[in-house]
Amino acid sequence: MDDGEASGGEASGKRTRSKSKPSMFDVAVRAGVSAQTVSRVSMGATNVRPATRDKVLAAMSELGYSPNSAARALRYGTFQTIGVITHKFSRTGESRTVEAIVEAARSAQYTVTLVDVESPVSTEVSDAVTRLSNQSIDGLVIIRAESVTPAMLSIPAGLPVVVSDSRFVGHHPAVGADQLEGSRRAVEHLLGLGHRTVHHVAGPDSSGPSQLRIDGWRAALDQAERPAPPIFRGDWTGRSGYEAGKHIARDTDATAVFCANDETAIGVMHALHEAGRRIPADVSVAGFDDIALAADVWPPLTTVRQDFAQIGERLLELLLRQIRNGERLEDVHETVPVELVVRESTAPPAS
Amino acid sequence: MDDGEASGGEASGKRTRSKSKPSMFDVAVRAGVSAQTVSRVSMGATNVRPATRDKVLAAMSELGYSPNSAARALRYGTFQTIGVITHKFSRTGESRTVEAIVEAARSAQYTVTLVDVESPVSTEVSDAVTRLSNQSIDGLVIIRAESVTPAMLSIPAGLPVVVSDSRFVGHHPAVGADQLEGSRRAVEHLLGLGHRTVHHVAGPDSSGPSQLRIDGWRAALDQAERPAPPIFRGDWTGRSGYEAGKHIARDTDATAVFCANDETAIGVMHALHEAGRRIPADVSVAGFDDIALAADVWPPLTTVRQDFAQIGERLLELLLRQIRNGERLEDVHETVPVELVVRESTAPPAS
DNA sequence: ACAGCGAACGAGAGCGTTTTCATGGACGAC
DNA sequence: GTCGTCCATGAAAACGCTCTCGTTCGCTGT
């Protein structure tokens, strides 16, 4: 047995760390070649004789060798890895964006490391950036760093960054759905059905997307010269929609509600049902996002569809252009179109 | 001046690559100390004079230095990173488990790299494992590798693995909710309300959790000596629940339905509403998972709550025990308790 | 005042890989 | 038959960092 004799004499001194994973050198000894022949095989180089290659391959699988990417990364200066910072990503929009990023990254031969911050405050995000850049990443995607400004973050110089839906626009390239237009279209749809005005249950005060949706709602009302009723503040959750909905249910003038997202809209419908108000006969409700369940709640929810997959793809492409070509894209701000999906939760007012 | 002559002649030739990130040596030159001292400061060692430390710190921030973790990882032999393989993680259960894992990992000073496989077939998962272990991870979490057996995966020898809810039990340590008990309790709840029997809309054929929920449903019916009606096959989506629901709505004998998950249940309710059948007066519906929206759909859904956070924590703990202490835990299979949450979608039959 | 000692810092090796350059051997051309 | 050429392979350096071991100070105790 060659491995026996190889590790028998002085090599056994080195082989002592039998616990750790085999290195290229181990494979080389086993196959009776030199270390960089193993390297050549590992990298799929052409100039190695088939017989040699087979020997090496055999040694690899016998030893269960897999290349140490730390060393490889050290050599190459790249980790083939991008970092994603997100906030509460079990929310639908976030997780679908992340999913798209992961998929796009995979087809570009990158992996994704994920950090989920408790809340999108500066210290949290800044912490996450530090941790992430200590773990080696080639680029960074920040999703909805809503209440954070770039100055707050200690982003290492030269680290490519893209952001989604945040206030970084102008400092880092950004991609986001056309939220203004989406809101406007939802409200116009409701006004077009004959509603005198449209109430709004908004997202949290600190959120950029929330503000955009408010702006779109207000713009549509202004354009139609309708009064803008006071805003209900929510926090994206169904629960907050439910609370707002209880007030709306009491207000018999309210015949149409546009909600900052689908969860909130579903919460509003919950309160309306509970109060015995019919949807859409008494009150029309529209949401935003088009989550998977929007089509299956009762009644099926009219909403604005965001193309999360496309957002994820665009984010990754902008990031890769920075990483691979060194392009500077600070001023780029892409907007991906949205689509109004009319279902049964909206209808002309009964009166 | 040794540093003077060192950097004066040939060292300046080295500095040519001003493009790339500054290294420890650059900082050392700038601060007029050795690379060693920079390392000490970087690691927070105590035996460095405050004045020296300040000089180094200043040099670091002037140069925008951040440590190259490839080199660090190479030296330490660890990336402080774990890999997570999941399938369609924008589904609620998956993403909440991942979220918990990420959080637990963070507090253990680990980061998480994520791979989302298109479908849980062997080639996909196997691919993912390969890619991930090329990326140097210290451990691996596999979430719901439903139709995969361990032999299919080329998991590098010695790589710690934990799995959630899969058929790996017995080969790798596993953590999962007590799905059998959860299903049983949901069905018993419905029978206890006076329903003669309970219909079931199941998950896909290939899924382990789906099978467990079927088993629990059947066990409860058997124990109460009730007939088990034919199963409706779903695929976890609301849409599939809707399709099943259309059949159930036509069957006036059906007064109670237990669904494999909440999305499916919501789809069933959609079909029932559409057919004019009242919930729960005509038909009671129960789900599984307790997703965030379960409380806000109409009527609020009775369901079995899984503690995803705890599952994530336990998974990570089991993984870390393998990584840090080298424990072998193949036979460990933890079950985390579930909780029946009764809301308004279930009630005694009207008759 | 001098040996002894500990603190502060520097020099060098090594982690596992890829890259560059050197070397040996086989083969074809003359 | 000999030389040149190319192909397969090996040796050594380098990537940036941390660890181990020395070395140089400045200080205290007698």
Inform me whether the pLDDT recorded for B307 exceeds 70. Answer: yes
| Nearest-by-CA chain B residue for A42 | B134
Cross-strand bridge partners of residue B143:
B164
- Rounded CA separation A177/A180 (Å): 9
Q: A interface mutation test: which of B86, B130, B293 has the most A CBs within 10 A?
A: B293
Whether residues B293 and A112 touch (CB distance < 8 A) is answered with no
On whether the A2-67 domain is CATH 1.10.260.40, my answer is yes
CATH fold, domain B179-306, is Rossmann fold (3.40.50)
Shortest-distance nucleotide from B68 CA to C1' = D16
Comparing B195 with A67, the larger pLDDT belongs to B195
Is A263 part of the contact surface with chain B (CB cutoff 8 Å)?
Answer: yes
* CA distances in angstroms from B224 to B173, B187, B188, B219, listed in the order given: 34, 10, 8, 9
Inform me whether the pLDDT recorded for B170 exceeds 70. Answer: no
Nearest partner of B291 among A234, A92, A288, A243, judged by Cα: A92
Residue B5: its pLDDT value, please?
A: 35
Closest-CA distance, B269 to chain A, in angstroms, reads 8
**Nucleic chain C contacts, Cβ below 7 Å:** A 14, 20, 23-25, 35-36, 39-40, 42-43, 65, 67-68, 70-72, 74-76; B 2, 33-37, 46-49, 51-53, 71, 74-75, 77
Put simply, the chain B residues between 203 and 222 with a CB less than 8 A from any chain A CB are: none
Cβ neighbors of B63 (< 8 A, separation 6 or more) are B22, B26, B27, B30
Inform me whether the pLDDT recorded for B73 exceeds 70. Answer: yes
Residue B302 DSSP one-character state = B
Q: What backbone phi and psi angles, to 5 degrees, belong to A114? A: -115, 135
Shortest-distance nucleotide from B31 CA to C1' = C9
Residue B17: its pLDDT value, please?
A: 39
- Rounded to a whole number, what is the distance in angstroms from the first to the last CA of chain B? 99
Is A52 part of the contact surface with chain B (CB cutoff 8 Å)?
Answer: no
CATH of domain A79-176+308-335: 3.40.50.2300
- Rounded CA separation B199/B213 (Å): 12
Comparing B347 with B111, the larger pLDDT belongs to B347
> Residue A22 has which token pair?
């085999």
pLDDT truncated to tens, each residue of chain A (351 aa)? 333 333 333 333 333 334 567 889 999 998 999 888 999 998 887 788 888 889 999 998 888 888 888 888 888 888 888 999 888 777 777 888 999 999 999 888 888 988 887 766 677 777 777 777 666 788 999 887 666 666 667 777 778 899 987 665 567 899 999 999 999 999 999 999 999 999 999 999 888 889 999 999 999 999 999 999 999 999 999 999 999 999 999 999 999 999 999 999 999 999 999 999 999 999 999 999 999 999 999 999 999 999 999 999 999 999 999 988 888 888 898 999 999 999 999 999 986
Comparing B143 with B157, the larger pLDDT belongs to B143
Question: Structural domain boundaries of chain A?
Answer: 2-67, 79-176+308-335, 179-306
Residue A289: its pLDDT value, please?
A: 95
Inform me whether the pLDDT recorded for B275 exceeds 50. Answer: yes
B-chain CB neighbours of A273 within 8 Å are 298-299
Whether residues A102 and B92 touch (CB distance < 8 A) is answered with no
Q: Between 3.40.50.2300, 3.40.50.1820, 2.70.98.30, 3.30.720.210, what CATH number should domain B80-176+308-337 receive?
A: 3.40.50.2300
B-chain CB neighbours of A131 within 8 Å are 106, 111
Residue A229 DSSP one-character state = P
Of A131-145, B176-190, B323-337, the range with the highest mean pLDDT is B176-190
| Nearest-by-CA chain A residue for B155 | A64
For residue range B62-72, list pLDDT tens digits in order.
888 888 888 88
| Nearest-by-CA chain A residue for B115 | A102
Kindly give the pairing relationship between strand B139-143 and strand B161-164.
Answer: parallel
Comparing A30 with B1, the larger pLDDT belongs to A30
Comparing B313 with B94, the larger pLDDT belongs to B313
Average pLDDT over residues B253-262: 97
A21 Ramachandran zone, left/alpha/beta (phi>0; psi -120 to 50): beta
Residue A198: its pLDDT value, please?
A: 98
> Residue A106 has which token pair?
């995979």
**Nucleic chain D contacts, Cβ below 7 Å:** A 33-37, 40, 46-49, 51-52, 71, 74-75, 77; B 14, 20, 23-25, 35-36, 39, 42-43, 65, 67-68, 70-72, 74-76
B2-67 and B80-176+308-337: identical CATH topology: no
Query: How far is residue A276 CA from its own chain's centroid?
Result: 38
Kindly give the pairing relationship between strand B111-117 and strand B339-341.
Answer: unpaired
Cross-strand bridge partners of residue A19:
none
Structural contact between residues A238 and B293, judged by C-beta atoms closer than 8 angstroms: yes
Mark the nucleotides of strand D covered by protein, meaning any atom under 7 Å from a CB: 7-12, 14-20
Identify the band that residue B145 occupies on the pLDDT scale cut at 50, 70 and 90. low
Is B102 part of the contact surface with chain A (CB cutoff 8 Å)?
Answer: yes
Nearest partner of A156 among A175, A137, A143, judged by Cα: A137
